Structure 1
Amino acid sequence: MTQPISLSSLTAIDVHVHVEVDDEGHTSLGGDLMEASAAYFKSEHRTPTVDEVAGVYRERAMAAVVFAVDHERATGHPPIGNEFVARAAARHPDVLIPFASIDPLRGEAGVGAAARLVTEHGVRGFKFHPSLQNFDPTDRAAFPLYEAISALGVPAVFHTGQTGIGAGLPGGGGIRLGLSDPMLLDEVAATFPDLQIVLAHPSFPWQDEALAIATHKANVWIDLSGWSPKYFPPNLVRYANTLLKDKVLFGSDFPLITPDRWIADFDRLDIKPEVRPKILKENAGRLLGLPQ
């Protein structure tokens, strides 16, 4: 019988891993967007199954937060179901931690879905992608969902900065980068001080804004996914080593970037020895409430 996740048994916790295909072969993105993102990241295996993802992380004694993104309203492409992600993760409770994605403009239906996903399906958090989902995080229509997530006591991850989805397509595939300016989330963090907010990715071209928000707001964290650490801006490394050493999280963006590549490049960064385990697993353990 597989054992649930415990912090002491892990080498790292990857807080940013995408579910790109379900058991029926339905993919997370439509053809043009999928192809553009694969080309942007030069990824070799763009759509591993959840079981394959679990195998990758189990072999490395890592845990992974897994999720899809509901962007159907914006793109017309049906999402990979949240219930599927939860069921698939439940097959691998020793390595996978399920998050869900809800269109924040679904209103009361979204609020009810969030409660069911947490209480009935074991979901441990929520993922938003403002650019791909085509919503402004400060839109008051999204606030009831934020309030519900806060009351449920689970974190919310928001994509910030540039995205490889739509990169190189005419008009970027219609995706608006400005919706992922992390400064928009400062208002969300101030309005919902008990909601734990993760700013996903080095937030190019708004990195200093992300650092300012995470330093100012006790409920804001930063994950380091989507970039190889060798490309991190010096100011991000400086803050990760000092003021934000307890609020920065390892994330790869797998399958777009592999955990092996990310860790190998992270090992070359000038990170203090006592800070490395914080970034790799201890901070995520606190955020997710994992047992020791």
Structure 2
Amino acid sequence: MTFPADAPVIDTMIAFPQEGSAQYDFIRRQTKDTASKEEMEFPAEYMFKEVPKDLPTDDPISVTLREMDRHHIERGLIGVDDEVSRLALTKYPDRFVASGNIDPNTGMDGVRKMVREHEEFGTRAVGVFPAGAFPQVPINDKKMYPFYAKCVELDIPIFVCAGVPGPRLRMDPQRVELIDEVMYDFPELVLVTRHGCEPWTDLAVKLMLKWPGLHYSTSAFSPKYYPKAIIDFANTRGADKVLYGGYFPMGLSLERIFEAMPHVPFREHVWRKFLYGNAARLLKLDK
């Protein structure tokens, strides 16, 4: 159960410091409470302690790389939508892995964008925030199906936020039971949940047992709060199904994550799969 402090890590959710809060305007346009619209810089800030807000932004790539180096993070999965991320992918292709971001409301234009990004940046995955789409799009909605089909065709996984969202948005689009229909209709799909699946983690475990392509990432959670059901699953039948995801710099510092990590009661055979091996396999980084 000893945490391998020298083990390499792949972070399946990492980004770069940005100035201001405009990056969250897509969330604020559908929130209704005053705190989300006017008071919180980060719309889920009420959930997190010590959000790393004051990081320098003059050289954001160097900031993230420095933090990665401190914590043995060899590769980070990042977006391709902004200039900084594209520069990082160009300058440090051995450190950063490209992931597209889909908007299911864009239909075939969005699918074509997904293909262009795959061809231009070599995206190894895509991500979607169903409750954050405007209007919201449930995980099993017909609008999502062309994107799932294209993921199967391109042979890349999709990371899907599931469970009650942190921002004060309606939770219905992210109910975990909706995943069952998707996996039934797309048995070849590799789907990785993000942001916890709470309060339905027991159901998430049941579905992972049922569907070979369904996985779970620990993004947006300090290791102190990893759900017991997920730890127990990883330690038994799910060692190949649970993978590390951080949340730097959006809500968690890497220092906070890796200070707490050694206290997670994973069994010996789980650690290296959780930190590196499972993500390397799903993102095809060892090929």
Structure 1 position 37 matched with structure 2 position 44: yes
Shift of 1:85: 3.1
Shift of 1:142: 1.9
Contact 1:16–1:66 (CA<8 Å) still a contact in 2? yes
Q: State the partner residue of 1:103.
A: 103
TM-score normalised per structure 2: 0.83
Contact 2:24–2:43 (CA<8 Å) still a contact in 1? no
Partners of 2:264 and 2:23 in 1: how far apart?
Answer: 33
Partners of 1:149 and 1:106 in 2: how far apart?
Answer: 16
Q: State the partner residue of 1:91.
A: 91
1:270-281 equivalences under 5 Å are 270-281=265-276
Instruction: Return the letter of the residue paired with 1:89.
Output: L
Partners of 2:144 and 2:238 in 1: how far apart?
Answer: 28
Contact 2:16–2:63 (CA<8 Å) still a contact in 1? no
Contact 1:90–1:96 (CA<8 Å) still a contact in 2? no
Q: Structure 1: which 5+ runs fail to align? A: 1-8, 69-80, 166-171
Partners of 2:160 and 2:17 in 1: how far apart?
Answer: 18
Shift of 1:15: 0.8
SS, match of residue 14 in structure 2: strand
Q: Structure 2: which 5+ runs fail to align? A: 1-5, 29-36
Shift of 1:151: 0.6
1:182-261 equivalences under 5 Å are 182-255=176-249, 256-261=251-256
- Aligned-pair identity (%): 26
Quick one: which of 258, 263, 266 aligns to 2:258?
263
1:72-103 deviation digits (Å, cap 9, x = unpaired): xxxxxxxxx26763443222222211211121
Instruction: Return the letter of the residue paired with 1:151.
Output: E
Q: State the partner residue of 1:290.
A: 285
Q: Go from structure 1 to structure 2 and tell me whether the alpha carbon gap of 1:101 and 1:46 turns closer, same or farther (over 3 Å shift).
A: farther
Partners of 1:46 and 1:194 in 2: how far apart?
Answer: 43
SS, match of residue 127 in structure 2: strand
1:214-263 deviation digits (Å, cap 9, x = unpaired): 11100011001211222223222110111111110011121212233223
Partners of 2:61 and 2:189 in 1: how far apart?
Answer: 28
SS, match of residue 247 in structure 2: coil
Shift of 1:192: 1.4
Q: How many residues align?
A: 262
Contact 1:86–1:122 (CA<8 Å) still a contact in 2? no
Q: Go from structure 1 to structure 2 and tell me whether the alpha carbon gap of 1:26 and 1:40 turns closer, same or farther (over 3 Å shift).
A: closer
TM-score normalised per structure 1: 0.81
Q: Give the CA RMSD over aligned residues.
A: 2.4
Shift of 1:126: 0.5
Instruction: Return the letter of the residue paired with 2:188.
Output: D
Instruction: Return the letter of the residue paired with 2:228.
Output: P
Q: State the partner residue of 1:4.
A: none
Structure 1 position 53 matched with structure 2 position 64: yes
